[in-house]
Amino acid sequence: MATILIVDDEPSVRDLIRDTLELEDHVVNEAVDGPSALEALRAAELPDLVVLDIMMPGMSGLDVLTELRGQPPTKELPVILLTAMSDDATTWAGWSAGANVFLPKPFDPGALLDWIDRVLEGGSEMEPTL
Amino acid sequence: MTQVREGLRPLRPAWLSVSLVVSLVVVAGLLCLATLAWLPTVVDMPTQLGGIAAWWVVVLFVALAASSDVIYVPVRHGDAWEELTFVEVVIIWGVLILQPFPALASALVGFGLVALLMRRPAVKSLFNLGSYAVSGAALMVTYLALVGDAPRFGWRSVFALLVAALVFTALNLFMLSLILLAAEEVPPREFIAEQWALSVGMAVGSVGVATVTLAVFETSPALTAFAALPAVALWYAYRASSAHAEARERSHWLVALGQAVATPGEPEEVIPRAADALRRVYGADEYAVVLHSGQRFGSHEQWQPPSLMPREARTLGAQDLPPGWTAGVAVRLEDLSGGGVLALGSKQEPAGVTRHLPWARSWSLDDTDVPGLVALTTAVGSSVRAGQTLAALTEETAKLQAVVDHATDGIAVVDATGELLLWSPAARRITGVTVPAGATPPEIVQRVVTVPSGSGVELEYERADGQSLSLHVTRVDVPGSAAPSVITIRDMTRERRAERMKADFIATVSHELRTPITPIRGYADLLKRRWDKMSEEKRAQVLDTIEERANHLTRLVDDLLIAARASTETTLSVELQDIDVVEVVQEAARAFPELDGRITIEDAPPQMVRADRTRVTQIVGNLVGNALKYTPPDTPIQISFGPGDPTEVRVTDHGPGIAADEQDRVFERFYRIEDPLTMRTGGSGLGLHISRELARAMGGDVRLNSSPGEGSTFILQLRPEGN
C-alpha cells in the first residue's frame, strides 16, 4: 500500500487512475493542475509516488517536474509522466526533466500498476520506455 | 518631239485601246502620205536644192532622219526624263528643200530603219511612224498654204514655218496624249498641260535651227558646218549637264538609301524605302522584292522570282520578268533570315544590244554597276536583319519585364561590382523598401552575396510597418564572367504559419483523440481484470464514463469531418426550417452542468428563425463551451437575444478578451492562441471555425466583439423565419 498523488486536468483520466489504484488498495490524492499539485506537495506529507500528466492548462507537467527536481525534499520523489504526446521531443524533454517512467496515453491500467510496483520497489533504476 | 517616261493615273474609256489608237494613227498617216503624193499634181511645188541630184538628197534625208531619231538630249522635265531629238529640224529641212512627199517619205524611211535596227517594239514604232506621217504632212500642207509665192527666207516664209511647226507639235501632242491615255491611263489634260510649253519651245527652236543652217548652206555651203557648230556645242552642253544632273540625283538617292538602311526596322518599314531608293539610284522604273518568308513588296505582288538566284546581279529573261516589265535585273538579298530577291526593272524597251546608262532608251545595268548593286542590297538585307533582331530583342525584353513586374516573388539583380541593377515591384512590396537602380542593394540582398550560386537562406525579416515575415532569399549567378546575379525573395510567411498550424493541429488532435481513449481503454481493461472486485455501482459509473467519453470522441470526429468538408466544398449541407431560437438555445445550454451557476439566459419571447436545429444547437454548444473553457471559473456567462434581421444570439463572457489582431484568426481552422503543451484543456481549434462555417451555410454568420481585459461577445446571426 502506497500513497500516490495523481495530477491531471482531465477528470475521467483522474477517475480511471484513482479507481485502478484504489482497487489495489493504494491511497490516492488528486490535483487538477500544476500549481495545486505543487501546493499539495509542499503542505502535506510527501506521497510515495506522483502520476503526472504533461499537458495541462497554465503550467505543464514538465514545469511541475522541473520544479520538484529543483527542491531537495522532492528531488528523489518517484514521478511517472503521462502524456498524450508521444513525439521524440516531448519524450526527451520528459527524461531530461527527471521522470522515472514515461507512459504514453492511452495506457493499460495493468501496465501503470506494474510500473508503480517497479518504481516503488527498485527506486529510480528504471530503463526508459515509450 | 518628246517622249514620256513616267505615267500618271486613270480615267480611260473602256473602248479606248492601244491597238485602236495605233490603228487610227497608222491609217491617218497613210492617208496623209497619199495626200502628199497627190498634191503636186494640183499645186505647183517649189524646186529642189541647187545643183544636187534629187535622189542623193533623198538618200541624205533618210540618213539625216535616222540620225535625228538616234541622237537626242535627255532633259529633266518635272519628274520625268524627256528625250529631245532633231526630228522636227529634219522635217522642216525637208519642206524647205524637197517636194512634200519625198521629204516626208524619206524621213519616215529613216525612222523606220532606226526602229528595225534598234529592235523597237512594232506597236510603238508603228505608232511613231503614223504620228510623224500625220503631223509631218500637216506641217507641210500648212506651210505651203501660208507661204504662197513668197521667198523662202522672207518674213512670210518664217511666219508660215512657225505656224506649221506649231500645228505639227499640236497634232503630235494630241496623238501622244491619246496613246498615253489608252496605254497608261494618263489624263490628256494633265499631260498636255505639262508638255505644251516645252513642245512649243522645241518647235520654235527647230524652225530657227533649220532655217539658219539652210540659209547659210545656200549662201556658202562651206560655212554650214560652222552654222551647225553652236547646235552641236549646245548638244554636248546638254548632255554634260544632264549627266551632271543624273549624278546629282544618283547621290541624292544614295543618301536616301543610306538613311533607309541606317534605321533598322521591320522588313515592311525598311524594304520599301530602301528598294525605292535603289530603284532611283539605278534609274529603274520598278522594283519588286520577294522574301523567302513569302512577304512581297513592290507593285508586282504575283511575281515569282527564279528559284536559283546567284549572288551576282542577273539580267532577267522574259520568263523571269514580273508582269508588265520589259527589262530587269535581280539580286539575291543577303543577310536576311531565309533570304530574298530584289529585282529592278523597266517597263520600257527590252535590254538591247547596247547597255546604256539609265537615261538611255533601253534599260539595263552596266557591268560596272553590278558590284555596287550587290553591296547595296547586302546592306539592305543587313538592315532588315538588324531590325528583326532588334524587334525580337525588344519583344523578349518586354516579356521579361512583364515577368519581373508581375512575379509574386521579389526579384533583384546585382552586378559583379555589387551595384543594384533591378529591384522589382514585388521586392518593394515584400520588403517595404524602395531602392533606386544603381544604389547599394538593401541589407536583405547583401545576406546572400556569399552563399553559393543556386542556394539560398531562410530568414526572419522585420518590415518597417512592424510585420514579421519569413523570407526565403536565393541567389543565382548568370553564366559568364562579371555577369550579374539574380536574387529572388519569396515571402514564406503564410507557408510557415500554415506549417506551424499544421504541426499544432496534429499535436492538438493527437492529444484530443488520445485523452478520451485513455479512460475508455483503461476502464475496459479494468472491468475485464477486476470485474469481481468492483461494486455494482462502480461498474455502472465506469460504463457511464466509457459511454460519455465515446460520445465525446464521436463529436470530435464529427467536428473534424465538418471542418474538412468546409475546406473542400462550397457549402455545407444544412436542413433549414422555421424554429424558435430561444427554445433551441435554452435546450442547448441545458447540456452544461454549470447552467445554474455561471450561465444565465435572457428570458425572451420566442424568436422564429430559418435555420437547422441541430446545427444551431451545435454552434451554441461550441460558443458556450468556448466561453467556459477560456474564462475564469467564477465569472458569469450571459446568453441574450437580438430580434430582427439578422436575429442574434449573443454569448458574452468576462474573460481575458481577445486582442484585435487575433480576433479574425480565432475563426481560422486549427487556430489556437495557446501553446499546445500548456493550453487550457479541450478543443481541437476547430470549434469557432466550424461554428462560423455552419452559420454561413445557414445564411448567417458568427461575429466577435471583444476588448482585452473586458471579455468577449460571440454573436450568432441567423435569418428570421420565412427567409
Residue B195's CATH number:
1.10.1760.20
B-chain CB neighbours of A87 within 8 Å are 507
A35 touches chain B (CB under 8 A): no
- Put simply, the answer to whether B534 touches A23 (Cβ < 8 Å) is yes
pLDDT for the residue B355? 31
A32 touches chain B (CB under 8 A): no
pLDDT for the residue B449? 78
Same domain, B601 and B695: yes
pLDDT in tens, B303-340: 788 776 777 788 888 888 888 787 888 888 876 666 78
In the structure, what pLDDT confidence band is assigned to residue B1 with cuts at 50, 70 and 90? very low
pLDDT greater than 50 at residue A112: yes
Strand partners, B336: none
A97 touches chain B (CB under 8 A): no
In the structure, what pLDDT confidence band is assigned to residue B280 with cuts at 50, 70 and 90? confident
Q: Provide the 10 A C-beta neighbour count for residue B219.
A: 12
pLDDT in tens, A73-106: 888 899 999 887 767 777 788 888 888 888 888 8
Min Cα separation A47/chain B (Å):
23
Same domain, B101 and B73: yes
Let me know if residue B225 belongs to a domain: no
pLDDT for the residue B540? 93
Let me know if residue B276 belongs to a domain: yes
B-chain CB neighbours of A60 within 8 Å are 677-678
DSSP string, B383-405: HHHHHHHHHHHHHHHHHHHHHHH
Same domain, B46 and B195: yes
Let me know if residue B134 belongs to a domain: yes
pLDDT for the residue B644? 84
pLDDT for the residue B522? 93
Residue in A12, A62, A106 nearest the CB of B514: A106
Same domain, B91 and B123: yes
pLDDT greater than 70 at residue B416: yes
Lowest mean pLDDT among A53-67, B79-93, B339-353, B581-595: B339-353
Describe the strand order of the beta sheet including B286-291 as a list of residue ranges: B296-298, B286-291, B340-346, B327-333, B314-315
Same domain, B274 and B300: yes
Let me know if residue B365 belongs to a domain: yes
In the structure, what pLDDT confidence band is assigned to residue A123 with cuts at 50, 70 and 90? low
B-chain CB neighbours of A9 within 8 Å are 681
Same domain, B715 and B643: yes
Domain boundaries in chain A?
A: 1-87
Domain A1-87: CATH superfamily, name plus number:
Response regulator (3.40.50.2300)
Same domain, B597 and B690: yes
Residue range B131-158: mean pLDDT, rounded: 87
Let me know if residue B5 belongs to a domain: no
CB pairs under 8 A between A and B: 89
A67 touches chain B (CB under 8 A): no
A55 touches chain B (CB under 8 A): yes
Alpha-carbon distances of B440 from B417, B427, B434, rounded to whole Å: 10, 15, 12
pLDDT for the residue B11? 61
CATH number at residue B583: 3.30.565.10
pLDDT greater than 50 at residue B2: no
pLDDT for the residue B109? 92
Total domains in the fold of chain B: 5
pLDDT for the residue B358? 35
What angle (nearest 5°) sits at the alpha carbon of residue B343, between those of residues B338 and B345? 175
The answer to whether residues B652 and B711 touch, using CB atoms and an 8 Å cutoff, is yes
Residue with the larger pLDDT of the pair B78 and B168: B168
In the structure, what pLDDT confidence band is assigned to residue B360 with cuts at 50, 70 and 90? very low
Q: Is the peptide bond before B646 cis (omega within 30 degrees of 0)?
A: yes
pLDDT greater than 90 at residue B645: no
Residue in A23, A57, A87 nearest the CB of B678: A57
User: Of the candidates B451, B429, B427, which has an alpha carbon nearest to the alpha carbon of residue B437?
Assistant: B427
CA B38, B41, B42, B44 torsion-angle sign: positive
User: Of the candidates B8, B382, B342, B403, which has an alpha carbon nearest to the alpha carbon of residue B190?
Assistant: B8
pLDDT for the residue B295? 83
Same domain, B191 and B42: yes
Q: Which amino acid is at B93?
A: W
pTM for the whole thing? Answer: 0.47
Q: How far apart are alpha carbons B381 and B401 in whole angstroms? A: 30
pLDDT in tens, A20-74: 999 999 999 999 888 999 988 887 688 999 999 988 877 888 999 999 999 888 8
Let me know if residue B479 belongs to a domain: yes
pLDDT for the residue B26? 92
Helix orientation angle between B18-38 and B155-184, rounded to the nearest 10 degrees: 160
Residue with the larger pLDDT of the pair B20 and B505: B20
pLDDT for the residue B81? 59
- Put simply, the answer to whether B679 touches A55 (Cβ < 8 Å) is yes
In the structure, what pLDDT confidence band is assigned to residue B359 with cuts at 50, 70 and 90? very low
CA B163, B165, B168, B171 torsion-angle sign: negative
Residue with the larger pLDDT of the pair A94 and B43: A94
ipTM given for this complex: 0.88
Q: How far apart are alpha carbons B719 and B716 in whole angstroms? A: 10
B-chain CB neighbours of A84 within 8 Å are 510-511, 514-515, 518
Residue range B577-585: mean pLDDT, rounded: 91
CATH number at residue B481: 3.30.450.20
Min Cα separation A24/chain B (Å):
10
- Put simply, the answer to whether B542 touches A105 (Cβ < 8 Å) is no
* Segments forming the whole domain that contains residue B533: 496-568
Which letter, b or e, does each residue of A49-85 get, where b requires 16 or more Cβ atoms within 10 Å of its Cβ? bbbbbbbbbebbbbbbbebbeeeeebeebbbbbbbbb
Same domain, B27 and B174: yes
Residue in A19, A84, A108 nearest the CB of B515: A84
In the structure, what pLDDT confidence band is assigned to residue B673 with cuts at 50, 70 and 90? low
pLDDT greater than 60 at residue B6: no
A52 touches chain B (CB under 8 A): no
Let me know if residue B165 belongs to a domain: yes
- Put simply, the answer to whether B678 touches A58 (Cβ < 8 Å) is yes
Name the closest residue on chain B to residue A62, using Cα atoms: B677
In the structure, what pLDDT confidence band is assigned to residue B571 with cuts at 50, 70 and 90? low
Same domain, B316 and B439: no
pLDDT for the residue B351? 34
Same domain, B423 and B539: no
Min Cα separation A42/chain B (Å):
22
Mean pLDDT value across chain B: 82
Same domain, B539 and B641: no
pLDDT greater than 70 at residue B7: no
Quick one: cell of B219? 549662201
B interface residues, A as partner, C-beta within 8 Å: 507, 510-511, 514-523, 525-526, 529-530, 533-534, 538, 542, 545, 548-549, 676-681
Among A7, A60, A85, the strongest candidate for a mutation testing the B interface, having the largest count of B CBs within 10 A, is A85
Domain boundary among B487, B515, B533: B487
